[in-house]
Amino acid sequence: MGIIYKIILLFVTIKAIVLGRKYSLSAQGYLMIYLLITFLNETISWLRDLIDENSKNGLQYNIYIIFSIIFFYFFFKKIFKSWLKHVFTVFFLCSIIYILIFTNFYSTDFDSRLGICLVTYYIIVSLFWYYQKLNTKVISKITVDPNFWVSTALLLWSSFSLFRIIPMYFLEIEDKVFLGQLKFVLNLINGITYFLFYVALIKYEKQLDS
């Protein structure tokens, strides 16, 4: 399932690159940058595991998490309006301060607190977007908005990831079989998540062509 997920991610990344060359990166909310970094991160991790399955890639993922938080701050900042933008900025700064003070983001081991911070961040940001969208009078369907698919993707991924990240080190010792099953399910969710990103890119393309 992990290979299938990576193939989906590659396909979506290529779509974002093609769309970026056809129009501009800003036209798709710079999603190409996020998708490309994500694909490179997953590919490097996969290659490291092939070379040495005991290699530590915690620092790599710790840095990637910080990148993701910063990226989606700028992605949603231009979408949020009035007081919600200010609340979002405060929430973002609190997340960064928490990471710098209370986590070992520089460690070669993956810090689960960073993972929990990321999924919490994604959940809150997605709910912020839903709140704004549902309280804004619009004529078109909510599914026409590309940001609906991005927010839904983040909410879906983060909700399931909580069940993988929180008990990760406990299950590594107590129940590796169940941990493997959780990893399989999360890879499935990863595939669905990036399929939703693909739908978002299609919606961006339709807006640009109209």
What contacts 167, CB < 8 A, 6 or more positions away? 179
| 154, 126 Cβ separation under 8 angstroms | yes
Residue 183 confidence (pLDDT): 76
Query: How many other CB atoms are there within 10 angstroms of residue 86's CB atom?
Result: 10
| 100, 50 Cβ separation under 8 angstroms | no
Residue 5 confidence (pLDDT): 87
Residue 170 confidence (pLDDT): 56
Ranges of residues in the chain with a pLDDT under 70 are: 1, 54, 166-180
Q: Give 142's DSSP letter.
A: G
* Amino acid identity, position 8: I
Residue 112 confidence (pLDDT): 85
Burial class from Cβ neighbours inside 10 Å (0-12, 13-18, 19+) for residue 140 reads: exposed
Q: Give 107's DSSP letter.
A: S
Query: How remote is the C-alpha of 148 from its chain's centroid?
Result: 14
Cα angle at 69 between 84 and 61, to 5 degrees?
165
| 126, 151 Cβ separation under 8 angstroms | yes
Q: Is the dihedral angle over the CA atoms 132, 71, 66, 186 positive or is it negative?
A: positive
Whole-angstrom Cα distance, residue 173 to residue 139?
53
Whole-angstrom Cα distance, residue 115 to residue 159?
12
Burial class from Cβ neighbours inside 10 Å (0-12, 13-18, 19+) for residue 33 reads: middle
What contacts 159, CB < 8 A, 6 or more positions away? 119, 123
Residue 167 confidence (pLDDT): 63
Phi, psi (deg, nearest 5) at residue 111: -95, 110
The tokens describing 60, both together, are 């790599």
Burial class from Cβ neighbours inside 10 Å (0-12, 13-18, 19+) for residue 192 reads: middle
